[in-house]
Amino acid sequence: MTEVVTHTLLSPVTHGELTITDLTFREAEVGDFMAADHFKGEFSGNVAVLASISDTPLPAFKKIKAKDFGIILAKTKKLLGNDDKNTTGG
């Protein structure tokens, strides 16, 4: 079973007629990281990956406030393969 993380936005985002209040993130797959290749800069690529793993249109994800974004980064760290486990055997 794939791990998921949810986040209720402190500041909801409006995209067209849709108001987004909650995001659900799934574990990233290689294809999600490939989506980042379409963007210049590491930050923009990371935003593209997070939008992809939450099935959120990128224009809507770009409207997320900084305070929410910081929380999302902390919550999704493990889903992006960035957990603190020692993989070197040392």
Specify the pLDDT at position 1. Answer: 52
**Percentage of residues in the chain with pLDDT exceeding 90?**
76
What does the alpha-carbon distance between residue 63 and residue 21 come to, in Å, rounded to a whole number? 12
Once rounded to an integer, what is the mean pLDDT over residues 24-29? 95
Structure token pair of residue 37: 């290749």
Higher pLDDT, 90 or 35: 35
Buried b (16+ CB within 10 A) or exposed e, 31-66: ebbebbeeeeeeeebbbbbbbbbbebeeebbeebee
19 Cβ partners below 8 Å, 6+ apart? 12, 13
In terms of Cα–Cα distance, which of 85, 83, 79 is closest to 2? 79
- What is the tens place of the pLDDT at every residue in 33-64? 998 898 898 999 999 999 999 999 999 999 99
Specify the pLDDT at position 30. Answer: 93
Mean pLDDT of the residues in the chain: 90
